[in-house]
Amino acid sequence: MIITIHVAAARNGVIGKNGTMPWHQSSDLKRFKAETFGKPVIMGRRTYESIGRALPGRLNIVVSRKPDFAAEGVEHATSLEAALDKARATGAQQACVIGGAALYAEAMDIADRLHVTHLEAEIADGDTFLKAIDPTVWKVIEEHRVDPDEKDDYPMRFTVYARK
Ligand SMILES: NC(=O)c1ccc[n+]([C@@H]2O[C@H](COP(=O)([O-])OP(=O)(O)OC[C@H]3O[C@@H](n4cnc5c(N)ncnc54)[C@H](OP(=O)(O)O)[C@@H]3O)[C@@H](O)[C@H]2O)c1
């Protein structure tokens, strides 16, 4: 099973602010759905709360250290490794780590690919950041620029990194 990270980040590394994403990027949401649909998605408890419901068409695994965490339509795991085991147990070929910051940082050590939407913007006052993508570890294998449509705040690049 390969492990992939899916994240949208501003130039200054911001991925979140006040428990949500500080932008509207419809093109990124479409990309996210296309890349994750039908696959297990693994997220931190705060990211789950920010989404507010299970993402349809995907096994949702929420990571929380709270032993009694439970929510409708999602599975619970107490660690990233336990979440990956749950995904593996379904026979999935790919597990998608979809945030937030702590899970990304931990998953970056073991992930096979990073699917990053680079927003061409600096976002002020962000409070949640993506760890820098180390160019000695990761190489770009796909990249294309996306001009914003009327439902996107910023231009962006869709970039896929593979471990060197
Ligand atoms: N731009 C993007 O692509 C993107 C994607 C996702 C999220 N976000 C943003 O990121 C922010 C939320 O991220 P966050 O970093 O604050 O929180 P988070 O990673 O979503 O959730 C943190 C919580 O997850 C649990 N957790 C994390 N790592 C764990 C581990 N290794 N083992 C067990 N439990 C673990 C803990 O839950 P308990 O406290 O319950 O134990 C922890 O408090 C929001 O602003 C959201 O909008 C952005």
Residue nearest to atom 39 of ligand 1 (CA): 64
Q: Domains of the chain: which residue ranges?
A: 2-163
Task: Give the Å distance between the CA of 14 and the centre of ligand 1.
Answer: 14
Q: What is the pLDDT of residue 122?
A: 96
Q: What is the pLDDT of residue 3?
A: 98
Task: Give the Å distance between the CA of 143 and the centre of ligand 1.
Answer: 27
Q: What is the pLDDT of residue 134?
A: 97
Which tokens is 109 given?
């050590």
Gap between the Cα atoms of 80 and 116, Å rounded: 20
Q: What is the pLDDT of residue 61?
A: 98
Q: CATH topology for 2-163?
A: Dihydrofolate Reductase, subunit A (3.40.430)
Test site for ligand 1: of 11, 12, 17, 46, most ligand atoms within 8 A of the Cβ: 46
Pocket of ligand 1 (CB under 6 A): 7-8, 15-16, 19-21, 43-47, 50, 63-66, 78-80, 98-103, 106, 128
Which portions of the chain are predicted below pLDDT 70? Answer: none
* Ordered alpha helix ranges (H), the chain: 26-36, 45-51, 80-89, 101-107
Closest CA to 134 of 157, 161, 96: 161
Q: What is the pLDDT of residue 52?
A: 96
Running DSSP on this structure, what letter comes out for residue 20? Answer: B
